[in-house]
Amino acid sequence: MSTDKVTKSRSKKLLGWLKQLMLWLLFAIVITTAMDLWRGKDIPRDNLPPLQGITLQGKSVDIATLSQDKAVLVYFWATWCSVCNFVSPAVNQISKYYPVVSVAVRSGEDQKLQQYLQYKEYQFETINDNNHRLSSDWSLQVTPTLMVFKNGKLEYYTTGFTSLPGIWWRMFFA
């Protein structure tokens, strides 16, 4: 077999693999978008409930005020959430560059939650939603849920696993 035929054969195989990869990526994007829309169907879009509280550090937080003129990431998560164990390090990384307020859902008393955050070396501000009030107001069904606010408006949200590039993208374009 000539080298020209071998090269054409390899090129054809590579093109076939690239087409399959692109189809799989498109399929994954469609499925994850559909899942986000379904899991977030109850998240309010208009007449947003207030998102405010006192962090474990004693700081008063109001997302509508904090998000004026800059994007703010709000991260609903839980210590018992296995997916959150993969997403939280990415959120911690983002918190070095953007304002982040996390809401720990049913994750125990303040002292226990503070110890967890220190053990994991997470630096993001955290509101303890131990009574499930904030997450109920926002009709959240899934942890983790990430929301990006700008000028008091909900710009983006996503549920379930989210990668660091996905979070960067949402923050950058908000």
Domain boundaries, the chain: 52-173
Give the model's confidence band at 66: pLDDT under 50 very low, under 70 low, under 90 confident, else very high.
Answer: very high
* Mean pLDDT computed over 67-95: 96
pLDDT at 43: 64
Q: What tokens does 84 get?
A: 């959150």
Whether the CB-CB separation of 51 and 63 falls below 8 Å is answered with yes
Q: How far apart are CA 100 and CA 123, in angstroms?
A: 9
pLDDT at 93: 97
Q: How far apart are CA 94 and CA 168, in angstroms?
A: 7
Instruction: Provide the b/e sequence for 66-78 (b: ≥16 CB within 10 Å).
Output: bbeeebbbbbbbb
pLDDT at 10: 79
Q: How far apart are CA 172 and CA 149, in angstroms?
A: 12
Residue found under tokens 């076939």: 16
In tens, the pLDDT along 117-174 reads: 999 999 999 999 999 999 988 888 889 999 999 999 999 888 888 889 989 988 988 8
In tens, the pLDDT along 3-37 reads: 677 677 778 888 888 888 888 877 666 665 666 55
Element (H, E) at 101: strand 100-105
Strands 125-129 vs 100-105: parallel, antiparallel or unpaired:
parallel
Higher pLDDT, 61 or 50: 61
Q: What tokens does 74 get?
A: 């709000």
pLDDT at 58: 95
In tens, the pLDDT along 89-110 reads: 999 999 999 999 999 999 999 9
- Fold for domain 52-173? Glutaredoxin (3.40.30)
Torsion of CA 164, 53, 109, 107, to 10 degrees: -30
